[in-house]
Amino acid sequence: MKEGNTEWDLFICHASEDKEDIVRPLVEALIEKGFHVWYDEFTLTIGDSLRRSIDKGLAQSKYGLVILSPNFFAKNWPQTELDGLAARERNGEKVVLPVWHNVDERYIRQFSPTLADKVSVSTKKGIDYIVEKIFKAVKPGKIKGSVANNSTPEESKVHVEDCMKKIYNPFEDLEIKEIAVEELKRLGARKQLMEIAAGPWVHHLIKRRARDALKSMQ
């Protein structure tokens, strides 16, 4: 795949049952490291066509990070995504990067000898280890949405903290919270926007704003 045709460094192929346990923490760590990641929770927004969005993610990601687990092999949808990634390897291009989660080589070989033979990394090693291994295999693209103002790092940090206080203040107006999300976007505060987008105590409209902001930063 030509560099100019890619929008993301990594497409995250996984079973939804593994989100809380490993997928979301791993994605957050990858983004912190500088990777441009296609991950459904942070990329899809209300009204998007699921099929078209995923097809675009599969086609325009340099690599597919595949979280192989018992949940993965028990479902058809993630395996369909894997088929789309594997099809790109027929020209000798390395695309699939396997991560083993609660499985071993013998288990994977029952379903796919080809996958079992690929060099992989296990979640038993921890998220930091996985990220370092992926970093060595994949050169992250330029991060979009980084801080682009004339504030000092300390001033930006204070501003980010102020925005977060407004968003989590239960007595603050929604309009003020929406402005705070836009400020976080302007400051390139991806980690905080990801926290808001996934936060259980955040108003659904603010979560949507945060997801939209993350999508526009890609």
Q: Which residues are catalytic?
A: 81
Phi-psi domain of 203 (left: phi exceeds 0; alpha: psi -120 through 50; beta: other): beta
Q: What is the DSSP letter of 97?
A: E
Taking CB atoms within 8 Å and a gap of at least 24, the contacts of 73-76 are 73/111, 74/15, 75/15
Three-state DSSP class for residue 114: helix
Return d(Cα 85, Cα 95) in angstroms, integer.
Answer: 7
Return d(Cα 20, Cα 114) in angstroms, integer.
Answer: 28
